[in-house]
Amino acid sequence: MTNLKLFFCCFFCVALVKAQTPEPYGPIPSERQLAWHDMEFYAFVHFNMNTFTDMEWGYGSESPELFNPTQLDCRQWARIAKEAGMKGIIITAKHHDGFCLWPSQYTEHSVKNAPWKNGKGDVLQELRQACDEYGLKMGVYLSPWDRNHKDYGKPAYITYFRNQLRELLTQYGEIFEVWFDGANGGTGYYGGANENREVDRKTYYDWENTYQIVRELQPGAVLFSDGGPDVRWVGNEEGFANETNWSLLRRDEVWPGWPHYQQLRSGHEDGTHWVPAECDVSIRPGWYYHASEDHKVKTLPQLLDIYYHSVGRNGSFLLNFPVDQRGLIHETDAAQLMKLADQLKMDFAHNLALGKKVTASHERQPQNSFAATMVNDENPDTYWSTEDAVTQASLTIDLEKPTFINRFLIQEYISLGQRVEAFTLEAKVDEKWETVAEETTIGYKRILRFPDVEASQLRLTIQQAKACPLITNIEIYRAPKVLSEPLIARNKAGTVTIMTPDADAKVYFTTQGETPGPQATLYDQPFDFKQKGQIKAVVVDPQTKQQSPVATADFDVSKADWKLLQPAGKKSEVDAIWDGQAATAWGVETTQLPSEWIIDLGKPYTLKGLTYLPDQSRFATGIVSEYRVYVSQDGQHWGTPLVQGEFANIRNNPVEQQIRFKPTQGRYIKWVALQVLDDQKQVNIAEIGVITE
């Protein structure tokens, strides 16, 4: 064949394939969004003034002299992230208190006035160098709210905010993500004004022109906020997306601080723009480092759940590390992260779909360009597709022999849009088809977990799609079993129950702080534990001898004799606030605040704190955001309040809150709810407790 004939033949083939390629359907991702999708798993670092004040949200009045890490090592952060398989780090360059981790020329409230490195330090520059060394991308968090700046709430602040944004985007190399959150306006220092300032979150920042600065200076960076415009918040700080998760959003309806944030967990099926979900969560209860949380680092089963509910549900996984006062990721946090990394390597070690025969009920023409075999060819640029008119079709993978499996990974070719609305997975067991899962969306990546099934074939059926389905990748695995840590609970009477979802496993526990194992006490029934102390428990598989992470529960004094004197309620209902069950709650409607709660502890104690767990239901109500606490000997004379304050970030992170105050002798405690989220006329409590000397 002559060169000319060969040219025309190749040209004709390429033209034919192009002519048959499906048209894009609905909103599609940009190049920068596609690059973001490929990252999947990356780190957040919360390290700032709050690290040194032991707070979550600073007021802005803190002295720069407090910022003085003793062993700051951004290379340690980057090394740990790289070893764990993460692809980038986003740093809190400025949080709500306004303190800047770089020597900004626009404020004195920065590292240039800190004792660290005699005011010559620059955390952003050190992180840039560390990311470059370890091949990681770098992102920046810049809080729109600034409780330090005197002009916050006025037009002059927007100029200041944009000047700082320009500094970050011009001085520290390539940035992959710019992170804005929805915390805007409230009480603050504000240059000494010490007042409350509210802003219109929709209009104050003139977001369109603020975003344009990022587009101009960092065109490859994605913009994150509640509604994007490139990447959206997932609507919680638990790291979980909903099972149905569209990468689409009615973007023009959403702004930072949008009140309907629950919708962000699923996106909008009829979305007008491509705005996929980023799932942010901290490895500890708080976002900043608190020594009191050293024993509350998330366990391997918890981290695995988050991975499968974020990356496994068409989202990304942004895991936060609260760097400590040394300037290091704490050893416990690093150890738990590496456990997750090692487990994920085992979960996805052997792709059982590779090399296996795949057949389809329908294939697009020309057949060799969109064949079923494209789903396991390890090429992200190829995909199986049906003809345009066909939106229901199936793929069958022949595993050749009965094989144990428990993971199924599937990806759509999202460059042409997200299409699948519903699909099922079936396994052929003993020559009969059994349903393994019935699901909805797929998107960039969906990973199904299910109990071991011994299958000779798997069948994927697209039940419903907006347009012809495009499946680019399918992987099948058998992941090793991971034992979940047991759940330790104590009821009002002081009876302890230890529960595990692993029916065939045994539970061992200790009551003196020792590490439990098969040598410890075997749990076989609930037991009394009315004293203050610590219980540890572990689950052991009797066959493999595999052990779960150790569960730890710290109990204070027994609540057996406690009584709620105010507000009034039926005892059977009131007991929900101290039954040891986070899933139960009780509360009262209140026509106006403050709402006073008075508890008789039964006898005097030396009290040094109170704990409050807000309503933990999916759409919780009555969450207290501001409080005041009194202690009394007789329940009549209360004196001045021991403490008054706010629960910073409780809306997005509704974990147990600890209120500390000076040790005080008393039998009665009065907790006053001063403010409730969203001004609801309701106060709800899941659990309330005290901290004694």
For 543-569, write each residue's pLDDT tens digit: 888 899 899 999 999 999 999 999 999
The two structure tokens encoding residue 567: 């507000």
Strand-pairing partners, residue 494, are: none
The dihedral region occupied by 23, where left means phi > 0, alpha psi between -120 and 50, and beta the remainder, is beta
Residue 271 lies in a domain: yes
145: closest CA among 171, 119, 181, 194?
181
Q: How far apart are the first and last CA of the chain?
A: 92
681 and 648 in a common domain? yes
Residue 486 lies in a domain: no
147 and 270 in a common domain? yes
The two structure tokens encoding residue 254: 């959403």
Whole-angstrom CA distances from 219 to 36, 94, 178, 274, 458 are 13, 22, 11, 17, 43
The two structure tokens encoding residue 489: 């609970």
342 and 260 in a common domain? yes
- Give pLDDT < 70 ranges for the chain: 1-19, 618
For residues 244 and 235, what is the distance between their CA atoms, to the nearest angstrom? 14
CATH code, domain carrying 253: 3.20.20.80
For residues 452 and 288, what is the distance between their CA atoms, to the nearest angstrom? 39
- Identify the pLDDT of residue 446: 98
The two structure tokens encoding residue 39: 């990252």
R_g of the chain, CA atoms, integer Å: 28
The one-letter amino acid code at 26 reads: G
Residues constituting the chain: 693
The one-letter amino acid code at 185 reads: G
The one-letter amino acid code at 645 reads: G
Residue 142, classified by CB atoms within 10 Å of its CB into exposed (0-12), middle (13-18) or buried (19+), is buried
Alpha helices in 330-441 (DSSP H): 331-347
431 and 579 in a common domain? no
Condensed to tens digits (0 to 9), the pLDDT of residues 450-478 reads 999 999 999 999 999 999 999 999 999 99
Residue 389 lies in a domain: yes
Residue 485 lies in a domain: no
The two structure tokens encoding residue 167: 């500094």
C-beta separation of 383 from 374 below 8 A: yes
C-beta separation of 423 from 460 below 8 A: yes
For residues 121 and 74, what is the distance between their CA atoms, to the nearest angstrom? 12
124: closest CA among 65, 36, 63, 48?
48
CATH code, domain carrying 680: 2.60.120.260
C-beta separation of 487 from 520 below 8 A: no
pTM of the entire predicted model: 0.84
- Identify the pLDDT of residue 256: 86
- Identify the pLDDT of residue 3: 55
Residue 137 lies in a domain: yes
The two structure tokens encoding residue 441: 């969306």
Classified as helix, coil or strand, 393 is strand
For residues 403 and 457, what is the distance between their CA atoms, to the nearest angstrom? 9
Q: How many CB atoms lie within 10 A of CB 120?
A: 10
The one-letter amino acid code at 8 reads: F
For residues 219 and 259, what is the distance between their CA atoms, to the nearest angstrom? 29
Domain of residue 386: give its range. Answer: 357-477
202 and 54 in a common domain? yes
For residues 362 and 595, what is the distance between their CA atoms, to the nearest angstrom? 64
- Identify the pLDDT of residue 13: 47
437: closest CA among 427, 428, 314?
427
Residue 489 lies in a domain: no
Report the domain count for the chain. 4
687 and 631 in a common domain? yes
73: closest CA among 25, 31, 126?
126
523 and 577 in a common domain? no
Secondary structure (DSSP) of 149-217:
-TTTTSHHHHHHHHHHHHHHHHHSS--SEEE--S---EEE-GGGT-EEE---TTTTT-HHHHHHHHHHH
Of 555, 587, 620, which marks where a domain is finished? 555
The dihedral region occupied by 595, where left means phi > 0, alpha psi between -120 and 50, and beta the remainder, is beta
The two structure tokens encoding residue 313: 């549900």
Q: How many CB atoms lie within 10 A of CB 619?
A: 6
- Identify the pLDDT of residue 618: 63
Strand-pairing partners, residue 439, are: 423
b/e burial code for range 634-643 (CB count within 10 A of at least 16 → b): ebeebeeebe
Residue 528 lies in a domain: yes
The one-letter amino acid code at 352 reads: L
Of 512, 532, 555, which marks where a domain is finished? 555
206 and 270 in a common domain? yes
- Identify the pLDDT of residue 237: 94
Residue 245 lies in a domain: yes
C-beta separation of 553 from 485 below 8 A: no
DSSP letter at 372? G
Torsion angle (degrees, nearest 10) of CA 314, 323, 298, 335: 100
604 and 628 in a common domain? yes
The two structure tokens encoding residue 498: 């230890």
534 and 632 in a common domain? no
The two structure tokens encoding residue 94: 């400025």
549 and 567 in a common domain? no
For residues 407 and 430, what is the distance between their CA atoms, to the nearest angstrom? 20
The one-letter amino acid code at 358 reads: V
For residues 602 and 608, what is the distance between their CA atoms, to the nearest angstrom? 17
- Identify the pLDDT of residue 190: 98
The one-letter amino acid code at 43 reads: A
- Identify the pLDDT of residue 8: 45
Residue 381, classified by CB atoms within 10 Å of its CB into exposed (0-12), middle (13-18) or buried (19+), is exposed
Alpha helices in 454-578 (DSSP H): 571-574
For residues 482 and 662, what is the distance between their CA atoms, to the nearest angstrom? 43
Of 555, 572, 602, which marks where a domain is finished? 555
Listed in sequence order, the residues at least 6 apart from 379 whose beta carbon sits closer than 8 Å to its beta carbon are none
173 and 104 in a common domain? yes
Classified as helix, coil or strand, 22 is coil
